[in-house]
Every structure is written in structure tokens, then in C-alpha cells.
Structure 1
Amino acid sequence: MTEAPAPRRWPLWLGLGVVALVLSCAAPLLVVVTLREPGPGAAASASPVPIRSPEPGDPEQVTQLWLRERIAEALTQQAGALLRGDERGFLAVAEPNSEAVNALRRQFRSLRALKVTTWQVRITDIPDRVGSRWRVAVTYEHCFVDPGCAVGPVSIDTTWVDRAGVLRMLALAPSISGQDGPRPWEASDLVVAVGKRAVVATTAGQKSRLAEVLREAERAAEVADRYAVDGTPPRYYQIFYAGAAEWRRWYGGDRPSWTAGYAVPVGGGRFDVVLNGTDLHSSVLDDLLRHEMTHAASLPGGGYRTGDNWWLVEGIADLAAAGGRPVSRYESLPDVRRLVSDGWNGPLSGAEPGERATDWQVSAAYGVGYLAIRHLVDRYGEQAMLAFFRAVVHERKTPEEASKEVFGEPWQALHDDCVAYVRSAAG
């Protein structure tokens, strides 16, 4: 397939949410149903409400608790069907001809393609009555490929109907917590390729690039592993390759127009990497993967709100993306030169581009981060730079504290030296 030329710059927007997802083989089923009694707003009761079949005249809490148990039983059976590969059993929970049928069918096939190995179900709320229906949030925790992964939660609203004591699911809403949803396995029919270190998923329309993306991801993993500052790189890197429609929807969409990829924390200390496949040229795919996968390897498991330290987080990722090329071959140097000629003289803490930044401004911002990090590596070595990164990003120390601790230098002097290097390298 002929691809249109594309610029090298593919800046990253780093989505921060908290959820769960990951990676394969066969693991034992674990279904956890957590029950919680109604809160202070519920009707007062002299003694705990029994969990039993409701009878005429019972308080509604009796019905709610009984329904929750029935829903838990249905989802327990559904979880077993998923791990057995029993599609009919997985769909049995749905009301025939309801919208839940198609959503669950898509979910089943995508989860199986992703090689789901753990599927945990958690219900903490009692169902709410909505007319003749009942609605309750269900939390799903799961692993793909790696049966031993640490799971994290994704919560999905479900709607049920009581058919003479048999609960049937009518609908399920996409997860929408922050930037966490909907997940690709909720929203799309996925095709998946699994390597030794990477799992790549996409849709049928992008299937022709699946092998290429997996090949480059396997290579990128070797680089990204070096930047796992806690010493434990991901067992698998999970990459989702999005077409135009998927890019607008997966994980909430709504990224700045200049974004070509991002890494989103998904619970259990893991990140999902999402690539914008629209006009993504093969010549920049390797750089982009190294950049995003380095975020997955280097950042704290719960994510990190960059702010003043944006230059540091993006600089280390762009250092990995550069693949060892000399500074003179860094593609954003012309944009950094333009920034400097416009009078830029720091500070590094103000480097982050705004949502309305032009392409060259975004490119220059990433260049500032890269050159500052490159200077720290050239002066102190990569391990010292990683120790500084760990102190600031993982241990939440100020750059002043971290600089004294790691480099033995006051940060202001070192900061000004980095700024001078950026200006000099751009010249």
C-alpha cells in the first residue's frame, strides 16, 4: 500500500486515567463479588436486610440485594464461558434481540483475540430501579497473555430486566471514566498479533500493518527496557493501532490535533500504547514506538501529571526515539532553531506546548526536552540521568532536591546550563 509522505514529528499526548488491561496463556478463573450494604441514604432498618427472594410487602432493599446476587451469579457463569471460549455461554446472559447481544458478541471475540487469561468481576453497588429495569455498575479486572499480571479495574454500567426471577442483560454502556474508556475491546472488533515482548491489536481495516507494527514493537522493546528506572520493564507492551474512527473514540478520543500517539495507565502498573494510524508513515513508526513504549517503561504505574516536568518526561522518551543518532541528525533541530531565534531562553518548566500550538511549536517543544536530557546524559552519563528522573518523577522530589542528591549541583545553575546547551545546539 502506498503511503503519503508524513513529517517526522509525531508528538505524544499522555492520557492519565486509572483502569485495567493487559496480557495471555491459561489461568484459573477468579470471580470476586464484593457486596456492600446500602449507605446512609437508604431506608433505615432495625437489623441487616436479609438476602432472600423478595415477597410482597418487602422493603425494596430486599429486592435490590436479591437482584445483585442473581446478577453476580449470571456474570460468574459468563466469566467461565469467556475463559473456556464458549461464545454461546457468554451471550446467554443477554436478553435475546437486545442491544447487549451485539455488544457482548464483539466483546467476546475481541477479548479472546487478546488472549484473555483472567476475568474478575466485582459488584459493590446495589442495583438502581429505572422504571421496570435495573441498572448497576460492574467492575471488570483482567489480564491478557500474561496470566500472572497485576489486574486493575474498569467499570461498566449494565442494565438488566427481571424475567420471572431470571436476570437478563439489556444493555451495557462503554466505560467512560476520565480518559479510560471505551477500551478498544469494548468498542471494536480486534485482530491481534502476539510476540515475545509485545501485543499489537488493530481493526480489520488496518490489518495489513499488523505484522509490521509487531515487528517494530519487538525491536522497540529492547530500547524501552533500558528506561525502566525501577528495574522492572513491562512483561509485555500492549499496543493498539487505531484507524481514524478508532482514534476519535478509543480511550475517550479528544486529543490535541498534533497527537500521533499516547500512553495511558490502565492499572496494575501498566500502560496501553495507542498509535494514530492516520497517515503514519513507515519511516517514523520505529521512532514513535520507541517514544511511546519508553513512557510505558519509565513512568510510575499510576501515570504522572507532567506540568513543570513535561520536558523531563518527554525528553527521555525522545532520547529513546532518537535511537542513538547524533544530535546533528535530530529532526526537530530546525524547529528548535526557530524557537531560539524568536527569543526563547527557558525556562524548561514552561516547555509544554498548548493544545493550539502549531506543528513547528510542538516539534520545538519536544526538541527542548530532548536536548536538555541529551546534555545531562553527555555530562553525567545515562544512569545518573535516570536516577534524576526517578527522583523527580517517581519519588516526587523537586528538581532542586534531585539535582543536589544525584548530580551534586544546584539545579538553577544546571538548568541554565541545559538552556544554554539547547540554544547552542540549535545554532
Structure 2
Amino acid sequence: MAGPYVPHYVGDAVDKKLRSRLGWLTAGVATSIPWPPSDVWVTYDGDDFILRGSKRNEQPSPPGITIACDRDNVDDALAKVYRFTSILGWYKCGFVDVSGYTYGSHPMLYGDPRNVYSSTGTMSAKSFNCNHMPIVRDERARKALGFYREGSRLRHVHDNYSFLSFHKVIESQFANGRTKGQWINANLDNLTDDRAVARIAELRASGLNVGDHLFESGRCAVAHASLHGEIVDPDIPADRRRISSDLCVMEALARYYVGRELQIENDRETYANRNRLAPWRGLMEAASLAQLEAGEVPETVDQLDGHQVSLGLWPDGPIPGLEAMTMRVEAIGAGAVRVVLLNERLTIVLPFVLDFRHGRAHTQLEEGGLCHTPQNRPDEADVRAYSTYFYNVLGNGIAELQIANLQPVDCEVVIPVNIVPPIPQQAIEEQVERFRQQGAA
């Protein structure tokens, strides 16, 4: 299930935040997820986490996570960072793991070139997105994610201990080994990872019970070393190859358990499943909402008409001049409602389609725009506001619609066809300058 809206802040807002108090803990991280090049502040589950960018003054900088911390609460702050890295790595389909930390009155960075690194990055701080990351408060789920974080990090360091950590993801959820083994055997055929499927087939063709094999020749052999028991001998290539070959199965089982049994989504699943219009469901009568979500045409959706809507861009927030648009219902179709947003002077008209059947909101860039009325003509502020919306959305920006204190409704990203979108800021200034020249003519 998708989590709540996660505010993201970049630039001056982050600098101001870091100067707002004394007492900070910074954990240096090793990560495989796309990491922002400059600092990003996110508010998640009531706490503020600042992801320290991988570049500073155009030079490499150690990635990390900074959190407010008092001297006598270092362990509490560090525990929050551990939990945050567990869900962040899972959500972004990679890993984020703490390699070390430092505490001080000012937000220092923690550097360790061998153990603090980012293997991939984002184009800009605004490209980083962990919005709607699930909130994890269940202790069993927390432990499973912690072991998954360990296994994912060790996947690139030591296969034996990576295998053991992935096994602990499942082992930590059962009171006895028999039930755990039954779960493993019952779910082997549910795995879809090609490598895991091939390895399972290979083990079965050898006449092995896969669940028993993973436990005895994997988990126990890695965790124990007795004189006559089965072990993974670090000097025997065949032993190491066996664990390496089985690791993909154990990883796939751990991933399946977290995703299916604990029902913790990653960002791909959230993107596919999340109802973008959920924040507005409470605005409508139950009968009309049910009809729309069933793909039918209700008699009326008057409950949507007349709301004041703030139109913004993620993650920047409201667009100046579009913070107080009035929403009017223009048409009702099968499962969908077309609305228009109007500014107070009626010089900007922006249409949107609310697809309740599929839980999506769509911009209509090819329609709407600046309008002339007998009473009012667009001014420079209108041109800048509309151009800011149009060119940013055309350039794959995410438009957000917010009513009062409800969570924002994000619109689908526009994929331009047969055009090369201009650089938004450059196009905005060109439109403003053209307006000035027309006014002077």
C-alpha cells in the first residue's frame, strides 16, 4: 500500500534547515539507488531526513543522511536512519546502508572513500523522488527490511553472508523452522526471477528438496562450522560456487516475502497501483463516486464544482499566480470528469481530465491557455504563470492540484510526440519578452 505524500525540498530551503539548530548526526552511506547530486530534504513519518548530495562545488562528495540529534540521543537518531535506509533502499529497488556516522553541533559530512559511495546518480536534486514511500511501523516488517538491507549490500561484497541475511528475512518471521520450510517450499513456484527459476529447476533435476537444500547446504552451512557437519569451506571453490548459485533463489524468496506477505510496495508498484485521485474521494457523494469508479456516468458531480485549487509543480509547490484557481465542472463522461481551472480575472483557463475509473489525473496542454475577455486582458504575470505551467509540464514536469489541506493530486507525466521540448526556463523568459515587445509595439 502506498504511503502518504512525502514533501521534498531542495536549494535554499535545505540550507536554511541545516542552519536552523545545533546538533546533527550524519550517517555516511553506501547506496545503489539513484542518489541526488545536491542535498534533498524529505519529511517522512514525522521526521526530517536530509540526503547529502554526491557533489559539492562540482567535486565528488560523500553521500549521506543527516538528521537532527541531541548529544544524549545519538542511538535514537541512528536507529531512525537505519529504518529510513531500509525502506528507502527497498522502495527504490536497491540498497542504502550506513557505513559510519559522525555527530556534531553542525551538520558535518562523513567521508570514507572505500565504504561511503553512490554507484549511480540522478540528473538533479529535483529528479530524486521517494514520494508515497510506505510507512513501516510493524516490528516484524521492520526486522525483515533490515535484514533485506544487509543482504542487498552484502550481495556486492560477500555471497555467503548475503545469503544468510536474505534467509533471515524469512526466518525472522516464523516461530519454528518447520513452518518456515513449508512456506519456502510452497512459494518456490511463485518466483519469477529468471535466474531463480532456472536454479530451482536445476536443483529439482538433481533430486533435491529445494527447501531442505537451502536450509542445510545454505543457511546452516554458512552460519555454522562443526567438525563433521556441512559447511561452506572458504578454500573450496565448489562450496563458494554452490552458495553463489543458490543466492539468487534466496534473494528472490526474501523479496517475495517482503512484497507479498508483508505487502510493502516498491516505487514501481506504487506507480502502477496508486489512486492519484484518492485525496478527493471524500469530496464526493458515495453514489456518484461509486458510479465513476465503475466507469459509469453519474447524474451529477456538483460536489467538485467551485473548489479553490492551488496548481503547482512537484517538488517546488504552487506556481505564483496559480495558487487560487477556481474549479468548474465542464463535462461528465464514463468514469471521468473534465474540469477547468480559472484564475480570478478569467485570463487563464486550464482544463484537466479526472479519470476516476483508473485513478489518474491528466493535463490537457493542447487546450486552454491565456484568454481575453471584455473586462480583462492577460498581463505579464499571467504570461509568466501560464508559461511556467505549460513548459514545465511539456518538459516532463509533474503538475499537482491541491484543495485546502488535502494531499496534492499529481497529474500524469506528459510524453511529447514528434517535438523536442524546449528548456523550460528559457522558453518562459522568451514568452515574457515576446509579450513585452507586443505591448510596446
Same fold flag (TM > 0.5): no
Which structure is larger by alpha-carbon Rg, 1 or 2? 2
TM-score by length of 1: 0.28
Asked which structure has the greater RCO (Cα within 8 Å, sep 6+), the reply is: 1
TM-score by length of 2: 0.27
